[in-house]
Amino acid sequence: MTQRIAVVGTGYVGLVCGACFAKLGHSVVCVDRDADKVKALQSGVVTIFEPGLETLVFDQMSAGRLSFTTDTAAAVRGADLVFVAVGTPPEPKTGNPDLTAVLAVTDAVADAAEGFTLLVTKSTVPVGTARRIESRIAGRRAGVDIAVASNPEFLREGAAVADFLEAERIVVGTRDKRALEALKAVYAPLIEKGSVLVATTPETSELVKHASNAFLSTKIAFINEMARLCEKVGADVEMVAHGMGLDARIGPEFLKPGPGYGGSCFPKDALALVNAARDAGSPLSIVETVLAANQWHKHAMVTKIGDVVGGLDGKRIGVLGIAFKSGTDDVREAPSLTIIAELVKGGAIVTAYDPEAMDNARPLLNGISYADDALGVADQADAVVILTEWPEFRTLDFAAMRARMRRPALIDLRNVVKPETARAAGLVLYPLGKPPRA
């Protein structure tokens, strides 16, 4: 059954969800207060890098199922369901999610709703937000028929479209039977294909999102600590991870070492969960330790680089990759930001390259230069460091890279380069969690 949907917010979550809801056959209008952004989207210009998204948006606009506007009230009046997909950045002092934008949308929906309307939070919010929204609506406009539901997203940047259209699970938290039935109708094509519907309370739904991200963060932090231990004892972290992952109770996912986790979700969500648990009088010591371990690991990567080149002061370091992961231009909480800043602080001369994220990085990184291509970071470099696992970095002309370098050190913090490839190019490979390979 076709539903009339308004999605407020056109960032990663809102734009992907809006386009995918349209793909499922619904009539969707996406709302954003940024007039320039909306104008660009109306022209078919997608303002974020996400594989497959631009084509999806264009196709759904052409089919007449997807449109964009700055008029929130009009969008709400014409919708059966309003999905809130605005940002909830951490507050500078507390680290708690800032719900200012979520509550502003709540007020707009309360003011404009006509007839039964379902307000659904897609934004990642603390436990108890649904109750807060319900109370706010009741206090703002008595008698309005608005149901509230939590429906968290589980989208990986770089694979968001596929994650939506091939969802493993759809979590819905609501106390209203009409809301549950409406969301079942929205997701019916996915449920029919095998996506598991988890129907629960708003509080449980809100916690599922934070708990999931905190657990995945824990796996990453754990394998990164194992990588550092492997370097000390001469073991191979990839074989350790392989041996662990064959245990069905553990599984192989998120056991790949790297320079630290980042992005818009894991760091923020883990901190929000820690703060919520403290406020509830039930501290989460494991998650608190994960946050500290991730920060420590990034500093340890700087130490590793310094050890390879014999101190940072005056050394030329080429950096390949700034985005927190491949397949995105997102640099929010990227480990590269901390690592590069510390390299500069230590006196290193840094040249960086990323195929998608340099424009986003420029306002955040001071004292570095940028190359026009991947090989450009190697000019007179004492070491080249791989921080993001972009596929193109696996197949570089490493012999040409070596010819441009002052010293032959390739520090691969993503373990994407094969030892024999580096050796053939005359490079000394310093992988993460493995012995160096000359």
Burial of 253 from C-beta contacts in 10 A (0-12 / 13-18 / 19+): exposed
DSSP state of 252: S
List the alpha helices (DSSP H) in 169-260.
177-186, 188-193, 202-233, 237-245
Would the annotation count 257 as a binding residue? yes
Instruction: Find out whether 262 is annotated in a ligand binding site.
Output: yes
- Residue 247 assigned as binding residue: no
254 is known to lie in a ligand binding site: yes
Contact predicate 105/30, CB 8 Å = no
- 83 marked as binding residue: no
- Tell me whether residue 258 is annotated as binding: yes
**Nearest 5°: phi and psi at 4?**
-95, 115
36 is in an annotated binding site: no
Is 132 annotated for ligand binding? no
In the block, residue with structure tokens 């010819």? 403
> Tokens 């245990």 — which residue?
247
**Type of residue numbered 16:** V
Please tell me whether 345 is known to bind a ligand. Answer: no
CA neighbours closer than 13 Å in the CB half-sphere of residue 156: 15
Q: Is 124 annotated as a binding residue?
A: yes
For residues 321 and 352, give the distance between their C-alpha atoms in angstroms, rounded to a whole number: 7
Q: Which of 20, 30, 230, 265 is catalytic?
A: 265
In eight-state DSSP terms, residue 184 is H
Angle, helices 335-345/285-309, rounded to nearest 10 degrees: 40
Q: Residue 402, annotated ligand binder? A: no
**Has 25 been labeled as part of a binding site?**
no
332 labelled binding-site residue: yes
Instruction: Give CA angle at 14 (12, 16), nearest 5°.
Output: 65
Q: Is 155 annotated as a binding residue?
A: yes
The answer to whether residues 346 and 353 touch, using CB atoms and an 8 Å cutoff, is no
Catalytic-residue membership of 265: yes
Nearest to 8 by CA among 21, 20, 18, 19: 18
Residue 407 CA, distance from chain mean position:
35
**CA nearest neighbour of 267 among 300, 229, 297:** 297
- By the 8 A CB rule, do 130 and 84 touch? no
> Is 232 annotated as ligand-binding?
no
Residue 229 marked in a binding site = no
Binding residues: 32, 37, 88, 124, 154-157, 209, 254-258, 262, 268, 325, 332
Which residues belong to the annotated binding site for substrate? 154-157, 209, 254-258, 262, 325
Could you list the active site residues? 265
Which residues define the annotated binding site for NAD(+)?
A: 32, 37, 88, 124, 157, 268, 332
